A = this chain, B = another copy of it.
């Protein structure tokens, strides 16, 4: 039996240099590449790298959207690095809204844990708005790169939902932020969206563009 274990042992040894077996827990201090963060050596990995408790706490919804998004992507949760999956928590106070946005890097499935939402996405080929009221226990899929949104339509009931993504780095582009909280010149916004200048200026004030 001895030699068999020796062979196994040598397999373990060589693997200890590999750090690429089974999982690739993110090493935030080493270079990252197109496929994600570098991997930590497996001997430094513990079960805590595979568990994340940050989604157990409600986000603060005292903001203009009455909403909070708490991510558990590879940047916060090292265990999902390279694994094609991640999550986030969505809290919506009464009247809260997840404004029109895109995930450039992932498809999403949203699980409603509490409350009632109107949710929708817009297809690119026909500009169809796929719109539905969804309730606790429902799941809805939002394809990658398409504009979508969710609105709390329950009377005074907060919404708790969890989004799952098909990538450890889904990204999040909120249209209002992209336009009105960025360095996007007003004239260029007007030309590329046909929005009126006064409306743009109003929204830049709302969203805090310093441009």
Q: Give chain A's interface residues, CB within 8 Å of chain B.
A: 1-8, 11-12, 14-15, 17-24, 27-28, 30-39, 42, 46-48, 50-53, 55-57, 59-65, 67-72, 74-77, 79-87, 97-100, 102-109, 111, 113, 118, 120-132, 134-147, 149, 151, 162, 164-167, 169, 171-173, 175-179, 181-185, 188, 191-196, 199, 202-203, 206-208
Contacts and interface: CB of A to CB of B under 8 A. Distances in A.
6 contacts: A20-B169, A53-B137, A80-B107, A120-B188, A145-B171, A149-B192
Contacts of A7: 59-60, 68-70
Interface of A is mostly: mixed
B146 A22 contact: yes
A136 B56 CA distance: 7
What is the count of identical protomers in the complex? 6
A138 B173 contact: no
Given A17-B28, A35-B34, A68-B4, A178 B22 contact: no
Nearest to A177: B127
Given A4-B68, A37-B33, A125-B42, A22 B182 contact: no
B39 A31 contact: yes
Contacts of A129: 182-185
Given A46-B130, A104-B143, A175-B193, 9 more contacts: A15-B126, A18-B37, A52-B140, A118-B188, A129-B185, A145-B173, A146-B173, A149-B192, A196-B199
Contacts of A53: 135, 137-138
B145 A3 contact: no
Given A28-B17, A63-B5, A169-B20, A139 B74 contact: no
